[in-house]
């Protein structure tokens, strides 16, 4: 029987969730026994060669490229897992959601101490290849159906590993109380 195929994506995140995944250390060798790898920044495979069984999604959606990527993952993956607070709730990037986008752009490119001198012509980046910013940062489940949610910033490596093995082997994933409670 062929092994399940796992894919991963990083949208509007900091790659901390991927780093936490890699913190499973030598258990990645156990994982290699259980799964095959599909499209992921971990192996730098950039396109879907075939449909995947499970995808781990880091980050929410802050531009149109993220929306496109997430929809592609939904189309090509049987199970989508939102990994970390950015994917689940928008996380840190969603702090901009209460600020008009014009103000965000002015702060980033015109007014902040690090950019005001470097941008004397007061230009907003406008190359047509740049993705368009959305009006706000959206959690993944507001764009496509997500099947599972792994909380944490980032979720700890044990949690990611345990959930992945549970999904691959058809067991129930453990979600201890301390990872879902809020202080």
Does the footprint of ligand SF4 cover residue 90 (CB under 6 A)? no
Does the footprint of ligand SF4 cover residue 42 (CB under 6 A)? no
Q: Is 150 helix (H, G, I), strand (E, B) or coil?
A: strand
Taking CB positions, which residue lies at the least distance from ligand SF4? Answer: 16
For ligand SF4, the binding residues in 134-153 under the rule CB under 6 A are 153
Does the footprint of ligand SF4 cover residue 92 (CB under 6 A)? yes
d(C-alpha 61, C-alpha 72), whole Å: 13
Nearest CB to ligand SF4, comparing residues 92 and 173: 92
Judged by CB under 6 A, the stretch of 47-55, 62-70, 84-92, 121-129 that binds ligand SF4 is: 84-92
Residue 60 CB contacts under 8 Å (≥ 6 apart), including other chains: 11, 12, 13, 66, 86, 87, 89, 90, 91, 93, 94, 137, 138, 139, 140
Does the footprint of ligand SF4 cover residue 89 (CB under 6 A)? no
Residue 29 CB contacts under 8 Å (≥ 6 apart), including other chains: none
Query: H-helix or E-strand containing 35?
Result: none
Q: What count of Cα atoms within 13 Å lies in the side-chain half-sphere of residue 177? A: 1
Does the footprint of ligand SF4 cover residue 79 (CB under 6 A)? no
Phi (first) and psi of residue 14, to 5 degrees:
-110, 5
d(C-alpha 112, C-alpha 31), whole Å: 45
| # residues near ligand SF4 by CB under 6 A | 13
Does the footprint of ligand SF4 cover residue 162 (CB under 6 A)? no
Q: What count of Cα atoms within 13 Å lies in the side-chain half-sphere of residue 3? A: 13
Judged by CB under 6 A, the stretch of 8-16, 43-51, 121-129, 142-150 that binds ligand SF4 is: 8-16
Does the footprint of ligand SF4 cover residue 13 (CB under 6 A)? yes
Judged by CB under 6 A, the stretch of 24-32, 39-47, 68-76, 80-88 that binds ligand SF4 is: 80-88
Binding-site ranges for ligand SF4 (CB under 6 A): 13-14, 16-17, 58-59, 84-86, 91-92, 153-154
């Amino acid at each position: 029987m062929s092994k399940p195929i796992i894919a991963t994506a990083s949208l509007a995140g900091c790659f901390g969730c991927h780093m936490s995944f890699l913190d499973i250390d030598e258990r990645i060798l156990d994982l290699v026994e259980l799964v095959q790898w599909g499209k992921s920044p971990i192996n730098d495979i950039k396109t879907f060669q075939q449909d995947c069984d499970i995808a781990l999604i880091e980050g929410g959606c802050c531009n149109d490229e993220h929306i496109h990527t997430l929809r592609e993952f939904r189309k090509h993956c049987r199970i989508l897992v939102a990994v970390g607070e950015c994917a689940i709730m928008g996380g840190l990037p969603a702090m901009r959601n209460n600020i008009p986008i014009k103000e965000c752009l002015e702060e980033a490119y015109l007014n902040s101490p690090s950019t005001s001198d470097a941008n004397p012509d007061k230009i907003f980046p406008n190359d047509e290849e740049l993705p368009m910013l959305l009006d706000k940062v959206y959690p993944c489940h507001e764009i496509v159906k997500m099947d599972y949610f792994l909380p944490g910033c980032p979720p700890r490596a044990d949690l990611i590993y345990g959930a992945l093995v549970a999904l691959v082997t058809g067991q129930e994933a453990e979600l201890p109380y301390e990872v879902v409670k809020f202080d």
